Amino acid sequence: MSIKPTIAIFASDKGPGDSERSAIMSHAGSFLAAKGVNFICLAQNGTLCTPLITSVRSAGAKIKIIADDEFILPKKLNDIELERYGDEQNRYLRIGELSNAFIGLPGSLLSIKSLFEAWIATNRNLPVLLLNKNKNFEFMRGFTMDIISHKVKNPEKYISHADNIEDLYNRLQKLI
């Protein structure tokens, strides 16, 4: 890859399956960081993808958090760059300005909602890659073709599903 991509990564470590999602986030963060990826993470409504951030920091990658006004940065993360925006739409716009692509990891419905809100805020111009580990995003395949295809020509050009993090990275290289 000729450029060092910056990805907005959407994930949540709250809800059923926390330990498995934490492992997925840790693996994804360390793998992508080792490939030279920079990260943008969203912190709103009390959620933050802490396992991802921990692994990314350990690998030495650059991270920026885009947060709502209520977010309190944990002291152990006080060296991470933080931008606050009171308005959700402004957070999504800023994430789109900073990113080359959006990545969704298995997590809560709130995290996938946030991903697509950010994608819509960018006028659907950035690629979306979904880690379909354990078929967590299988429902999105039908959604992509049935719903998004009415607004976006060739949705497969913008939305891609991968079964493992290595495949996700290879698709990222092709899309940006």
Predicted TM-score of the model (pTM): 0.87
Contacts of residue 167, Cβ cutoff 8 Å, sequence gap at least 6? none
Over its length of 176 residues, how does the chain's per-residue pLDDT go in tens digits?
456 899 999 987 665 556 778 888 899 999 999 999 999 999 988 888 888 999 999 999 999 999 999 999 889 888 999 999 999 999 999 999 999 999 998 877 778 888 888 988 887 788 999 998 877 776 666 666 666 666 667 767 778 889 999 999 999 998 88
Spell out the residues 6+ positions from residue 15 whose beta carbon is closer than 8 angstroms to its own: 21, 107, 108
pLDDT of residue 83: 97
The answer to whether the CB of 46 falls within 8 A of the CB of 108 is no
The answer to whether 1 touches 44, Cβ cutoff 8 Å, is no
